[in-house]
Structure 1
Amino acid sequence: MTTPTTTSAPAEPGTAPVRRPYESYVYAYPHKTAYRPLADRPALGELWAGRSKDALALYAHIPFCEVRCGFCNLFTRIGAPDGLTGAYLDALERQARAVRDALAADGADVRFAAAAFGGGTPTFLTAAELSRLCDIAEHTMGADLRAVPLSVEASPATATADRLSVLADRGTTRLSLGVQSFVDAEARSAVRPQKRAEVEAALGRIRDAAIPVLNIDLIYGIDGQSEDTWRASLEAALAWRPEELYLYPLYVRPLTGLGRLPEPLSDAAWDSRRLALYRYGRDLLLDAGYTQVSMRMFRRSGAPESSAGDHACQTDGMVGLGCGARSYTPDLHYSFDYAVDMRQIRTIVDDYVERTGADFARADHGRRMDGDEARRRHLLQSLLQAEGMPVAAYTARFGTGPWDDFPAELAEFAARGWLADDTAAPGALRLTPEGLAHSDAVGPALFSPAVRAAMAAYERK
């Protein structure tokens, strides 16, 4: 998660604003810092009534990690006192019952087309607790985990054989391992205490578990990282022939370990270094037979798809369980309170654990979505994919074209060379390779003024 900030310099009259390539990582829109307490606390049954629920995504959030990396601003707490993980799963089950009842209240069929366990670190849970988490997803929520894509996040230290055995047996199709760097000195610099030998051992256990898709996360832009050390991490990852690789630029965010350093990285020279490392990594992976799916994601040629073919994030809903999860209906995005500070997170987790089933039947925090925001979200989530956005699908949904709705933004992207011409992608609005490289500037440029204002007014905690 990111707490985006606007870093664009004022533009000269008649020119586009100067955009830095790393303004913010847009993984969801609107960002949680644009959410606010919902005074009416709408009932979930009313929010989901009459909505299409035949291709939902299920996300379960586990807010625990063994350590907190220096770059991390995820909603997670470090460690868990005795009994807390069990109490958390008790609350998750209460929430699941309340949510399932709300989804089924109008009598419509409910089907999940995809599932994911994230965090935090889901594999912080013991093998028995992971089995219980799967039971909640299957038996309480009704998600057929063996019939749909199931993605689970893990860390090297928690990717143990017993945990991986449970996940494989319960239908996990994708395991994402947060490695970040195979160079021990870089891992220390990013405040991620791990040894390469531990990482390699974890990767061996994952391959032994025969989960179909292995994803390895790597980070570029770490202090002290060079092209040589970046290549060393890329080649170490490729030695395992992962089906997917994610290349993340390092961000230094408020309230994180790196953000508290006296002189955090945040200048134009760092931007240039990150861009150079990104291009190097992209080209190396393309030469190694990987296809670029987005700025961050690369898939090995011939590897199985890891996403649901019948779920579209632009149009289908998502149901979140857990205190850091969010849910999407066409009219409202909602979640629980959001924080980065450890003390604040502990308070929110403790509040979640104490909630009753009735407490889970209403939405607490969120943001209403009107037609303009729906258009922005659809364009954002499509354009940031390498395949781009079919214009006909956008027009069929909204009755207008993207150039009608966003002429200034798209004209700026085109002027910068970030949009491919129509002959390169007939019928699609698509970014050029340089546009993909600037995805973290393209995304924020499409935020609405209202969302920008809400994010700017958010009080960090």
Structure 2
Amino acid sequence: MTKSVMLPSPSIRPPARPAAEAETPYQQYVYAYPHQKAYRLLDNGPLLSDLWSGERLDALSLYVHIPFCEMRCGFCNLFTRTGAPEDVTHAFLDTLERQAQVTRQALDAQGKPLRFTLAAFGGGTPTYLTADELTRLCDISEHIMGADLQAASWSVETSPATATADRLAVLAERGATRLSIGVQSFIDEEARAAVRPQKREEAEAALARLRDAEFPILNIDLIYGIDGQTERTFKVSLDAALAWEPEEIYLYPLYVRPLTGLSSRHAATPDEWDDQRLRLYRYGRDHLLSAGYEQTSMRVFRRIGTAAVEDTDGSSISEYNQQAGMVGLGVGARSFTTDLHYTTDYAVAVPEVRRIIDDYIATPSDRFRRAQWAFRMNGDERRRMYVLQHLLESTGLDLGHYERQFGTRFETDFAPQLDTLLEHNWLRDVGGTLLLTLEGMARADAIGPRFFSATVREKMRTYQDR
């Protein structure tokens, strides 16, 4: 029998608080749990061959982090370096190849066949690499790691300046299924306000090249909350993106983080900014829904009837991809096993990023045999990761599946969070599946952090950008 959450009766339900009385809707984008700021350096970390012992190897995800961009946007807090010369990118690929060899040896030690069902090149901007360097990167992924890029669902991030015909030809020939381009705004003045000096004509030309390359899925990223941005100007960007009929459009709220270019320049007060972002979000959401897109999370809109659907080989493989099975290569890339998430060093400040990249390039191969920076996962943290992966999506959290997965009830494990979400009318129970309401989805960046553990919160609080 499907189990449902026992909602308070109307007579005793606490009144919903006005949105103005709740905390800011924009706390943190939860793209992975826990955040990299919760990782710490291990003393003599475990061998990768031990970490991957007992893990499934038939449903792996490959993530390669390319920490280079042609420019650093004012809102960017990613691990990336701008303007790296070819001697640095060549040396980076040399080290990436050595890391891949060591990682493949650790996986092969299990004596099981490898299969990568998902792959992604992120950053940074992977297409900062030249066409020849991208070819080498694909060769490392296929010939050393054993990923069949023609068979995997494979996503690559690009930018207007680096989406050149020769680079895109390499990616198309090697089987990339999804290209994501960060346009952010089609209005030149807004791009400048976000410290992203690009022209609309440059973005349009890049989109034409992407369409000519005939990738199955084109994704366009847009940002809302830029100084001076209104519904009228946001509509200009939305309509410009829609004109290309992309399979996906992502709408990102602008965040201004410490150590970024906008950290001392944003003019709006917090309340004004929250109000602006909420208004623009609702406008953009409704505009895309009316244009034939479906919303699958706070940020993601997919055009109905297109290839913009996750490729899976069955629920068990999909579930494993979400819980573990991530193999990361490159400085800043994360790897997930059931019991340990691990990565390299991480920073946002420009001098530290450069130092870490230099240290990565100089890393002896033997050091790659052990996990370095890591976070240990226990049952509680795995529950939290599961909740964040499901509750923030439009498909919601199946209470029965949660209980079968963990042997406990969500309503018991997360009673305080559940009470708060119901109190605000941000959550509803539909036949035993918890779904965010429209207003709950609008506040996903405030709902997600409610499920962080005390341990993760403390580690993030005490993290220092060395």
State if a TM-score over 0.5 links the two structures.
yes
Q: Is the 8 A contact 1:252 1:265 kept in 2?
A: no
Q: Which amino acid aligns with 1:368?
A: R
Aligned with 1:105 (options 105, 109, 127): 109
Q: Which residue in 2 is equivalent to 1:3?
A: none
Structure 2 distance, partners of 1:266, 1:111, is 50
Query: How far apart are residue 266 of structure 1 and its match?
Result: 5.3
Q: Which residue in 2 is equivalent to 1:198?
A: 202
Structure 2 distance, partners of 1:419, 1:162, is 47
Q: Which amino acid aligns with 1:429?
A: L
Q: Which residue in 2 is equivalent to 1:8?
A: none
Describe how 1:7-46 pairs up with structure 2 within 5 A.
18-46=22-50
Q: Which residue in 1 is equivalent to 2:263?
A: 259
2:222 is equivalent to residue 218 of structure 1? yes
Query: How far apart are residue 18 of structure 1 and its match?
Result: 3.6
TM-score, scaled relative to structure 2: 0.93
Residues 400/145 of structure 1: CA separation in 2 closer, same or farther (3 Å cut): same
Q: Which residue in 1 is equivalent to 2:452?
A: 447
2:369 is equivalent to residue 361 of structure 1? yes
Runs (5+) with no aligned partner, structure 2: 1-15
Q: Is the 8 A contact 1:145 1:170 kept in 2?
A: yes
Query: How far apart are residue 306 of structure 1 and its match?
Result: 4.8
Q: Which amino acid aligns with 1:369?
A: M
Aligned with 1:299 (options 302, 314, 317): 302
Structure 2 distance, partners of 1:246, 1:421, is 26
2:398 is equivalent to residue 390 of structure 1? yes
Q: Which residue in 2 is equivalent to 1:460?
A: 465
Query: How far apart are residue 219 of structure 1 and its match?
Result: 0.1
Residues 351-400 of structure 1 show CA distances to partners (whole Å, capped at 9, x for unaligned) of: 11112221111111011011101000000111110111222221111001
Q: Which amino acid aligns with 1:258?
A: L
TM-score, scaled relative to structure 1: 0.94
Q: Which amino acid aligns with 1:109?
A: P
Q: Which residue in 2 is equivalent to 1:275?
A: 278
Q: Which amino acid aligns with 2:444?
A: S
Query: How far apart are residue 460 of structure 1 and its match?
Result: 2.6
Residues 306/135 of structure 1: CA separation in 2 closer, same or farther (3 Å cut): farther
2:319 is equivalent to residue 315 of structure 1? no
Q: Which residue in 1 is equivalent to 2:131?
A: 127
Q: Which residue in 2 is equivalent to 1:347?
A: 355
Structure 2 distance, partners of 1:356, 1:136, is 18
Q: Which residue in 1 is equivalent to 2:71?
A: 67
Q: Is the 8 A contact 1:391 1:401 kept in 2?
A: yes
Q: Which amino acid aligns with 1:399?
A: G
The 3-state SS of whatever aligns with 2:323 is coil
Describe how 1:140-219 pairs up with structure 2 within 5 A.
140-219=144-223
Structure 1 distance, partners of 2:143, 2:149, is 10
Residues 211-245 of structure 1 show CA distances to partners (whole Å, capped at 9, x for unaligned) of: 11000000000011111100000000000000000
Aligned with 2:96 (options 77, 92, 95): 92
Residues 314/114 of structure 1: CA separation in 2 closer, same or farther (3 Å cut): closer
Structure 2 distance, partners of 1:92, 1:151, is 19
The 3-state SS of whatever aligns with 1:258 is coil
Q: Which amino acid aligns with 2:201?
A: A
Structure 2 distance, partners of 1:260, 1:358, is 42
Residues 399-420 of structure 1 show CA distances to partners (whole Å, capped at 9, x for unaligned) of: 0121121011011111111112
Query: How far apart are residue 109 of structure 1 and its match?
Result: 2.5
Structure 2 distance, partners of 1:139, 1:19, is 50
Structure 2 distance, partners of 1:285, 1:227, is 13
Residues 139-182 of structure 1 show CA distances to partners (whole Å, capped at 9, x for unaligned) of: 10001000011100000000000000000000000000000000
Q: Which amino acid aligns with 2:301?
A: F
Residues 313-353 of structure 1 show CA distances to partners (whole Å, capped at 9, x for unaligned) of: 43232010000100101111110111001110011101111
Query: How far apart are residue 121 of structure 1 and its match?
Result: 0.3
Structure 1 distance, partners of 2:347, 2:284, is 32
Structure 2 distance, partners of 1:109, 1:25, is 35
Query: How far apart are residue 19 of structure 1 and its match?
Result: 2.3
Q: Is the 8 A contact 1:252 1:266 kept in 2?
A: no
Q: Which residue in 1 is equivalent to 2:340?
A: 332
Structure 2 distance, partners of 1:137, 1:391, is 38
Runs (5+) with no aligned partner, structure 1: 1-14
Q: Which amino acid aligns with 2:436?
A: L
Structure 2 distance, partners of 1:314, 1:391, is 17
Structure 2 distance, partners of 1:40, 1:265, is 47
Among the aligned pairs, what percent are the same residue?
A: 59
